[in-house]
Amino acid sequence: MQISTENKGPALLIRLCGRLDAATSPEFEKRALEAVSLGSIRIIIDLAGLEYVSSAGLRCFLILAKKVRASGGALAVCGLAGMVSEVFQISGFQNLFPAGATVDDALRLLGTGEAQRDPGKERQ
């Protein structure tokens, strides 16, 4: 699994690619919680590149969400598709986090206002 991070205005964007299973989720959890401890409390997780998530991965999202909420922040997800979307529905996790189709949607859901500064949107 590949984990990449990027600052999106006041939010931290974490992109996950590949498979988040019982073997790979500890590494994701460790890196995400480190980011929170360094001050990132508005987090977007982009799942568009994720093809597989097991309950071990879902628990990481839950732990991360509790951590950022406890710090006064929020977590949103985007890019849910295929089996990952199905697993979110089965587990009821689609109701636990704000979910957008795109990163911009997720930014809006976090209320950062960052998406409104999208030049493409300003031209419309």
Chain residues that interact with other proteins, rule: CB under 8 A: 21-23, 51-52, 54-56, 58-59, 62, 82-83, 86-87, 90-93, 96
**Contacts (Cβ under 8 Å, ≥6 apart) of 108:** 100, 115, 116
- Least distance from other proteins to the Cβ atom of residue 74, Å: 16
3-state secondary structure of 11: strand
- Least distance from other proteins to the Cβ atom of residue 88, Å: 10
User: Judged by CB, which is closer to other proteins: 18, or 113?
Assistant: 18
CA distances from 3 to 11, 29, 71 (A): 16, 11, 23
Alpha carbons 48 and 80: distance in angstroms, whole number:
6
User: Judged by CB, which is closer to other proteins: 59, or 121?
Assistant: 59
User: Judged by CB, which is closer to other proteins: 3, or 9?
Assistant: 3
